[in-house]
Structure 1
Amino acid sequence: MTRHNADVIVIGGGIAGASAAAEIAADREVLLLESEPHLGYHSTGRSAAIFIRNYGNATLRALNALAAPVFDDPGEIADGPLLSPRGELLLAAEDELDALEDYADGAEGLERLSAAEACDLVPILRPDPIAAAVYESDAQNIDVDLLLQGYTRLLKARGGRIVTGAPVTALRREGGAWHVTAGGEDHAAPLIVNAAGAWAGRLAGMAGAAPITLTPKRRSAALLPAPEERDIDAWPLFGGVVENWYAKPDAGKLMVSPADADPVEPHDAWPDDMVLAEGLHRYECAVTVPVTRVERSWAGLRTFAPDASPVVGFDSRVDGFLWLAGQGGYGVQTAPALARIAAGLVAGAAPVDETLLTALAPQRFD
């Protein structure tokens, strides 16, 4: 086996690992290891691909705000825009009004709509179940492929190396460096970044890091034909405010998700037929058009820490182990912010205010 050395080894080639590797490579020699044949194979490639500034808890909303300028002006990451108009419409039944108020608390740029106004935006909605609605016009599509490609190009341009098809099989710290066996080769670096997504908890266990509970949860989706004689391209993403279903136009078709969040073991996810059917039924109850055909379906894993905020920072038990995990369903839209935070921590800087760093730090679970 050949030994390859670097300053930093990033483990995990989803959008979190690729973006962090690109940012860290500005002044470090970086090696990115991915177990699958190509980058973005799991959650990144199965994302809902939308940037919603008000999505998530207070920590995540702060990260969204930090990411927004990068999406608006990607600089070296992309030659063209990463975002395009979409909008988000959230619907509440009478018994869901408290959830609507919780979502609106602290949110910016929301417009409150009546049932009739909601139906003007999405004409197939049934007005009767809608007690209230909110609309965020600034929610936007993310070109996830362009984002991932951009960070990959930037990493390579900065001298970073990428090795795919390289699952980590051994990991130990010795002589002030981490020794990583992946894909039949040995690699060494004084610092590793744990961006392994659903497998981040297992990787931490291999390293002897703090035992932080990370729970992968399945999220399924189905692609439906557009309702007949409907031009859906201008429709917003729309769904229940309690997140029990949502739908989004996707290249002339309609992607519908049951918004499931079932805890599962790390694996190459696939949809549960019953969960998908139940979610499509909830969608059907909200619209006037029946589901007649599912063109294809898929699932991905979203991995959560107990407080649903990402885990980003140096481990409290072992040296040279940086967590970049637990992004939940917010990984793509927070990637530009978390990548720069990770790079700042590697450089020994305080990239954001102490309150946010504390909210992200793995030590909050000690």
Structure 2
Amino acid sequence: MTERADFLVVGGGIAGVGAAARLSLDASVIVLETEDAIGRHSTGRSAAIYIRNYGNRTLRALNAASEPVLKEPEGISDRTLLSPRGEMLIATEEELPDLKAYLEGASGLEELSAKEAVDLFPILREELIAAAAIERAAQDIDVDRLLQGFARLLRHNGGRIVTDAPAKAILRDGGVWRVATPKGDFEAPVVINAAGAWADEIARLAGVRPVGLVPMRRSAAILPAPEGHNVSAWPLVASASESWYAKPEAGKLMVSPADEDPVDPHDAWADDMVLAEGLYRFEQAVTVPVTRVERSWAGLRSFVADRTPVAGFAPDAQGFFWLAGQGGYGVQTAPALSQLTADLCLARAPSLDPETVAALDPKRLF
């Protein structure tokens, strides 16, 4: 028996579940997820921070549009999804051009002296800091509460999430898309490709031209808090060239080499050598040694050539909607991109400005 809906969403990460939740207010929606639960891959391995100035001009527009929802998530949560953190960039002499480039077009950043930077993150080597800046309004995001809130909204509106349902075949026939899975067959006039690192594979399965998605591994490790320090109020700190970053995490420090190694889509894990090199770069910037790694992991950040997300109908396949290529910005842009997806799929005027919508359109890639 084939189950029918107005929209099928392939992928149960924050992008797919968010879009499905917004669509469910006005349409019937089914989410098909390969794993046994939603949010298993990039969503569950996010650095979980909202940084308004992170990314290019289009991404900054998406960040700004998402902030009100993260602050007041009506229908998703009964309280804000944000909590104070701050993001500080530090630059050596060699990294000054990187910091200058980041500051261009940014808003709400405050330049700091080396001493002020060390006051905020006390284990930094003051003598190595040529310049620093902080976005005090950067905030931690409760990613699980956002994801589960979207899922509850979807189910409340009659939508469904089907787990353990990888797409085995996708075919358009008679004006509808049919997706065959081990949990049965599903059909809808519109299929939304929110498959993360696997989005190009889903497109090929459907006979749709890929967008040139490149999954890139990003590793991280949890270190004990430096002895004698309470790190809970420290900001996230990153090198201006993005060669490492560190963020307080449940009383410990999460440190990432900020790696971007192209890989095939898979259930990612940290590369020991890449992680060791990144921890060494972090160690050179601080006054305490790295003595122990409590655990490590990796996720995939997927980009197209211009490093801007892809959101819109495919130019070569009727009813095939792209929602992919969010890179490392997927969680903090999810509120804006989910609303845009619902607007475009339901033929409504988008709330985002036309320039941003055009910059996200997959047509730009062909």
TM-score band w.r.t. shorter chain: over 0.9
Q: What is the alpha-carbon distance in structure 2 between the residues aligned to residue 133 and residue 209 of structure 1?
A: 46
Give me the identity figure in percent. Answer: 61
For 1:152-191, list aligned pairs within 5 A. 152-191=151-190
CA distance in 2, matches of 1:65, 1:150: 20
Q: How does 1:1-366 map to 2 (within 5 A)?
A: 2-351=1-350, 352-366=352-366
DSSP-derived class of the 1:265 partner:
coil
Cα-to-partner distance string for 1:1-20 (whole Å, 9 max, x where unaligned): x3111110000000000000
Q: Post-superposition shift, 1:207?
A: 1.4
Any idea what SS the aligned residue of 1:220 has? strand
Q: Which moved more, 1:7-16 or 1:207-216?
A: 207-216
TM-aligned CA deviation for residue 210 of structure 1: 2.6
Structure 1 residue 256, shift from structure 2 partner: 0.3
Residues 270-311 of structure 1: per-residue CA shift (max 9 Å, x gap) = 000000000000000000010000000000001001100000
For 2:327, the aligned partner's letter is G
Q: Which runs of 5+ in 2 are unaligned?
A: none
Runs of 5+ in structure 1 lacking a partner?
none
Task: Please give the alpha-carbon distance, in whole angstroms, between the structure 2 residues aligned to 1:301 and 1:257.
Answer: 13
Q: CA deviation at 1:40?
A: 0.2
Distance 1:130 1:45 in 2: 33
CA drift of 1:261 comes to: 0.3
- Contact conserved, 1:7 with 1:29, CA < 8 A, in 2? yes
1:108 alignment partner, SS class? coil
Equivalent residues, number: 365
Give the deviation of 1:182 after TM superposition.
Answer: 1.5
Per-residue deviation, residues 86-141 of structure 1 (Å, max 9, x unmatched): 00010111111111111001111100011111000011000111100000100000
Q: CA deviation at 1:183?
A: 2.2
Distance in 2, matches of 1:357 and 1:89, equals 30
TM-score (norm 2): 0.99
Determine the C-alpha separation between the residues in 1 that align with 2:5 and 2:78: 29
Residue 347 of structure 2 aligns to a residue whose secondary structure is coil
Whole-angstrom CA distance in 1 between matches of 2:85 and 2:100: 23
Post-superposition CA distance 1:223-277 (Å, at most 9, x none): 0000011010000000101111000000001000000000000000000000000
Q: Which amino acid is 1:222 matched to?
A: A
Are the counterparts in 2 of residues 200 and 214 from structure 1 also a CA contact under 8 Å?
yes
Measured in 1, the distance between the counterparts of 2:4 and 2:104 equals 49
- Secondary structure (helix, strand or coil) at the match of 2:147 reads helix
Helix, strand or coil for the counterpart of 2:168? strand
Whole-angstrom distance in 1 between the partners of 2:206 and 2:190: 12
Q: Calculate the TM-score normalised by the size of structure 1.
A: 0.99
Q: 1: CA distance between counterparts of 2:284 and 2:191?
A: 48
Q: State the secondary structure of the residue aligned to 1:75.
A: coil
Residue 149 of structure 1 and its aligned partner are, at CA, apart by 0.7
- Asked if the contact 1:208–1:317 (Cα under 8 Å) also holds between the matched residues in 2, the reply is no
Q: Is the contact made by 1:166 and 1:184 (CA closer than 8 Å) also made in structure 2? A: yes
Contact kept, 8 Å, 1:210 with 1:316, in 2: the verdict is no
2:164/2:183 contact within 8 Å kept: no
Distance across 2 between alignment mates of 1:105 and 1:158:
43
Q: CA RMSD in A?
A: 0.7
The letter for the 2-side match of 1:183 is: P
Contact 1:20-1:340 at 8 Å conserved across structures: yes
Give the Cα separation in 2 of the matches to 1:6 and 1:347. 14
The letter of the residue matching 1:155 is: L
| Shift, 1:184, TM fit | 4.1
- Which amino acid in 2 is paired with 1:359? A
Q: Give, in angstroms, the shift of residue 353 of structure 1.
A: 2.1
1: distance between equivalents of 2:224 and 2:181?
Answer: 42
Contact kept, 8 Å, 1:70 with 1:336, in 2: the verdict is yes
Matches of 2:6 and 2:309 in 1, distance apart? Answer: 24
